[in-house]
Amino acid sequence: MGKKNRGRVSHIMEDFNLPLDRDILQLQDHVIRHRRWLHRHPQTGFREEDARDYILRALRGMHFDRITVLAGTGIKAVLRGTCPVRTLAFRADMDALAVPEKTGLEFASEYDGFMHACGHDGHMAMLLGFAQWLSENRDRLKDNVVLLFQPSEESVGGASPMIREGALDDPEVDAIFGYHIMPEVPQGKVGLKAGPLMASTCEFGIDIMGKSAHGAMPQKGIDAILAASYYITMLQGILTRKVDPLSQALITVGKLEAGQARNVLASRAHMEGILRTFDSRVAESIKHDMMDLLAGLERSFGVTTDFRDLVYYPPVVNDPEWTARVKEILPGGMFYPAHPLMIAEDFAWYQQKVPGVFLFLGSRNEELGYIHPLHSDRFQFDEEILLTGIQLDKNILLGLGGIVE
């Protein structure tokens, strides 16, 4: 596979001391083929028809008890055990990003302007590999297993509609596991942490309406740009004076549109931003303060305002008991103490319903040049790590007694 994944024989056990079972190693060609096909066909949230159809074809060649399409482009596959004590779910996200690819890979995106720049092609390939292993070992399976291929993690969130349409029901899921390929974690390590791991996000939009006037006669108008600038500046005052310094929180306004001409007061300003915290109660308190600040803006500047929630995810909070179990199952030397990140993940919605554990699958490899961050147009990873993810799924199932050894 080499620096551009072009055929180098895997040395993952030798280089990174990751124990891979023979039956997992035998999946390598299939998993790489899945990953490369999926990488060439990236589609954004709720438009993942190519990936959905590809995954359905693969699953229908296996021995699952039920395969269902959820949320338009999502998939739920159920394999029932012989004497189930519990039902374990494993989830992979499916969507790509509107990022023009610059990796130079021979299997680069065939769709101009779109790319799997967040590793979701790898997540799907790992879950397909695990599906194949489960199918080949279904006679040994004791517990029920549910595989969830979920659309639209990157945009409005596909987890909620998946849940509404029965992702965690029939059979009722007892715990759920998910991975994210992570370039901040060294290859060969698995980042894990009990409690808050990834932030909640409130993505908001605000319109500020003023009154246009000649720029040389500002007293005859209401300047929406001035009001918007004041508001953006005062948002940081909420964080520094209204929030406990020990509570991690941030507000970023990343988009501001206003004005039509250099000599005309803007009659409208539109901004969009994000609010991130690790505590939903802190987020609600900050949102209350943001609304109060808008009310004060209306009184002070004479503008009218409109606040809209665009997207909300709760924080990813790993269940302490299940996280401890997973840590015990990890082979020696693989554990990497994960630090909380301000990025968000809609895996959190599953954790609102059932205990869950989200893990970071390390992909940083400076020797091979895999150092680019998530969402970079050059993001890439060593395909060897895909087998590591499948091995971990197998180890979790074995460690919890869900399959006969």
Per residue in 160-216, pLDDT (tens digit) is 999 999 999 999 999 999 999 999 999 999 999 999 999 999 999 999 999 999 999
Counting the structural domains of the chain, the total is 2
Quote the pLDDT of residue 12. 42
Asked if the structure places residue 22 within a domain, the reply is: yes
Select from 270, 293, 313 the last residue of a domain.
Answer: 313
The answer to whether residue 146 sits within a structural domain is: yes
pTM (2 d.p.):
0.92
Same domain, residue pair 306 and 333: no
pLDDT band for 332, please (50, 70, 90 cuts): confident
Owning domain of residue 30: 12-198+315-399
In a domain, 7, yes or no: no
What are the tens digits of pLDDT across the range 362-382? Answer: 999 999 999 999 999 999 999
**Residue where a domain stops, chosen among 258, 291, 313:** 313
Residues 366 and 302 grouped into a single domain: no
Residue 41 φ then ψ, to 5°: -125, 65
> Are 29 and 172 in a shared domain?
yes
Q: Is residue 76 part of a domain?
A: yes
Q: Is the domain of 117 the same as that of 224?
A: no
In a domain, 143, yes or no: yes
Q: Are residues 228 and 325 in the same domain?
A: no
The CATH number assigned to the domain holding 338 equals: 3.40.630.10
Give 331's pLDDT tier (boundaries 50, 70, 90): confident
Are 296 and 319 contained in the same domain? no
Phi, psi of 50, deg, nearest 5: -60, -50
Burial class (CB in 10 A: 0-12, 13-18, 19+), 106: exposed
Catalytic option among 101, 203, 383, 384: 383
In the chain, how long is the greatest CA-to-CA distance?
82
Q: Which of 179, 313, 350, 370 is catalytic?
A: 313
- Cα–Cα distance, 371 to 362 (Å, whole number): 11
Which of 291, 313, 335 delimits the end of a domain? Answer: 313
φ/ψ of residue 314, rounded to 5 = -75, 170
Two structure tokens written together for 90 = 């494993």
Residues 217 and 77 in one domain: no
* In-domain check, residue 405: no
Residue 238's closest CA among 191, 311, 296, 151?
296
pLDDT for residue 333: 86
Q: Is 383 a catalytic residue?
A: yes
In this structure, are residues 383 and 361 in contact, taking their beta carbons and an 8 Å threshold?
no
**Same domain, residue pair 320 and 211:** no
The arithmetic mean of pLDDT across residues 9-37, rounded, is 78
Average pLDDT over residues 251-279: 97
Please tell me whether residues 351 and 273 are part of one structural domain: no
Say what the pLDDT of residue 109 is: 98
Q: Can you give the CATH number for the domain in which 215 is found? A: 3.30.70.360
Residue 112 lies in a domain: yes
Let me know if residue 36 belongs to a domain: yes
28 and 176 both lie in a single domain: yes
Q: Between these two residues, 252 and 17, which has the higher pLDDT value?
A: 252
pLDDT at position 5? 45
Same domain, 283 and 238: yes
Q: Do residues 130 and 27 both lie within one domain?
A: yes
